[in-house]
Amino acid sequence: MTGNFARRQFILSGAVWASVVLGLAACGSNLRKSDDDGPVEVAVEAGRIRGTTETGVGVFRGIPYAAAPTGDLRFKAPVPARAWQGVRDANRFGPMPPAGDPQRNEPSLDVGITNGGDEWLTLNVWTTNAGGSRPDLPVLVWIHGGGYTTGTSADARYNGAALAKRGVVVVTCNYRVGVEGFAQISGAPANRGLLDQIEVLRWVRDNISVFGGDPGNVTIFGQSAGAGSIACLLTSPLARGLYRRAIAESVPGDLFSGALAEEIGGAIAQQLGVRPSIEELARFAPAALAEAARSTRRDQWGARAVMTTGFAPVIDSVSLPESPWRALARGVARDVPLIVGHTQHEYNSQILQKGGFGAVSATDVDEVLGLVPGGADAYRRGYPELDDAHLYEVASSDLIFRMPSLHLAQAHTGAGGTTYLYEFLYNTKGAGSGHMAELPLVFGTVESSAAGVALYGKPAPDSALSLAEEIQSRWVSFARGGDPGWPAYTPAEKLTRNFDAASSTGRYRETVSDDIWNGTNFDPIVIES
């Protein structure tokens, strides 16, 4: 099992890091009141900031929403940013938070990011109405993915200019990841990365009007770990009232029990010869903690823990009192309209990182099929046409993203919430409809980001550009008034928007997997004996 574990850990790490490598091209659009390029100033609560304009869209980068989480504030809940004197430059992204794996934190990739520094907790704003007299634009707040262990708002895929031109204010943010954000540490609040996101929403409530945004019309949206964060924000009592709608793209089922999170945190500390407390772990630089986390073997807690990055939100009485799936089924967010969906072949990118379908081993297949409802028999019966490698892809996609996304929709709908379900089917270059494939379309960065060009080419086909127009239009329509333009999901009809070269609306396509997973609960991952 040792070799397979190392391989699996590499696959997950490589897939997450590849997404960051592809995204970290220069992401620059900068606003003023006119369509001419030039500086623009606004006053937020902490002080004045100066951004720039570009073709009528203004960008303010690297705005601190919380104080640097270092020194006495390390491993603590975020506190609002300290006020500054004069005018603060807002033309460069804030530094990337320390990644959960030091090999993913290469400074050569930090294009357009403030060099060094520990002011990780920053956000960025795109708007066409900075300083406008009528702050009535809908607001979209983006939470990036990265397996709860890496990521940055400087990713070129997340350039908010195209969405802003459609009449919304776009906010993207950094938050703590890895040990800094999600390790269970004695004396520290749990889910510090989620607390950072909630602090972003408080900042938006208090400041977004100076950018022309309506603080009463905020939609939170995110992908992968960002979508998992959205599910948690729907659940957290600390986030209630800070947003109006939500979009979750490819929701992971990763959620830790308190006992598992404590075991992982203790094992990381043990690598360094200390206890998992604030006082002792704060003696180490983030890179040392990340290295210790990378060296910690997750197979000691069971096969399901191996399928995670080692970090995930944890059940906690303050910030996340119960599983989002159970909470939504109780109706805790029934007043929040929700879009949720997934790509068709979520696990394709991970398999490609491993070397392709030919590199999938019998052990890989057996381990994944041992984690799904009904085991190997259910999947072999349900998908008799698939060879083992492709069965591995379907089962892994279901386990990690597809079924958690579907069940979130079902839980929300079952409690009386309004839910819109989608599946992304577009066949990209070499990766099919894999994980993250929709991101350049959502942000309109198909031809302006490295990831977009890798997936769609340059020039991109008209079908991809048309689909980008459709998705952006539907996301903005939802942010504006709660209706993306296709029928809501119901248990009887299961209507789903199928995003493709020729999009359509019809009954949910993944009926076999839906049947296999019927009645399954996505409860926190526990320690396996």
**pLDDT at residue number 26:** 36
145-154: string of b/e by CB count within 10 Å (b at 16+)?
Answer: bbbbbbbbbb
Give domain status of residue 10, yes or no. no
**In this predicted model, what pLDDT tens digit does every residue of 418-438 receive, in sequence order?**
999 999 999 999 789 999 999
Angle 363-368-370 from CA coordinates, rounded to 5°: 95
Dihedral angle sign, alpha carbons of residues 229, 276, 100, 4: negative
Asked if the structure places residue 29 within a domain, the reply is no
Q: Give the residues of the chain that fall short of pLDDT 70.
A: 1-36, 100-116, 529
Residues in the chain: 529
Q: Reply yes or no on whether 224 is catalytic.
A: yes
- Tokens matching residue 97: 């938070």
pLDDT at 32 (0 to 100)? 35
- Would you say 517 and 373 are in contact if contact means Cβ atoms under 8 Å apart? yes
Tens digit of pLDDT for each residue in 468-494?
999 999 999 999 999 999 999 999 999
pLDDT computed for residue 304 by the predictor: 92
Cα–Cα dist 219/466, whole Å: 24
In-domain check, residue 31? no
Amino acid (one-letter) located at 440: P
Q: Quick check: is 342 catalytic?
A: no
Query: What six digits make up the tokens of 179?
Result: 């040990």
- Establish if 227 belongs to a structural domain: yes
311 near 365, Cβ under 8 Å? no
Q: What range does the domain containing 366 cover?
A: 41-517
pTM metric for this prediction: 0.93
Strand 137-143 vs strand 213-223: parallel, antiparallel, or unpaired?
A: parallel
Q: Is residue 223 part of a domain?
A: yes
57-64 and 122-127: which strand pairing?
Answer: antiparallel
Segment holding 172, helix H or strand E? strand 169-173
- Within-domain flag for 507: yes
- Within a domain: residue 461? yes
Count of C-beta atoms within a 10 Å radius of residue 324: 29
Catalytic residue among 180, 249, 291, 346: 346
pLDDT of residue 297: 87
Quick one: which of 282, 393, 285 has its CA closest to 344?
A: 393
Q: Which residue matches tokens 């992401």?
A: 27
**N-term to C-term CA, the chain:** 16
Pick the catalytic residue from 13, 29, 153, 224: 224
What's the total number of domains in the chain? 1
Q: Which of 323, 435, 448, 449 is catalytic?
A: 435
Let me know if residue 474 belongs to a domain: yes
The CATH number given to whatever domain includes residue 482 is: 3.40.50.1820
CB 458 within 8 A of CB 385: no
> How, if at all, do strands 169-173 and 419-424 pair?
unpaired
Three-state secondary-structure class, residue 23: helix
Kindly write down the DSSP assignment for every residue of 482-509, as one continuous string.
Answer: S--SSPPP-TTT-EEEEESTT-EEEE-S
Q: Which residue has the tokens 């020729």?
A: 502
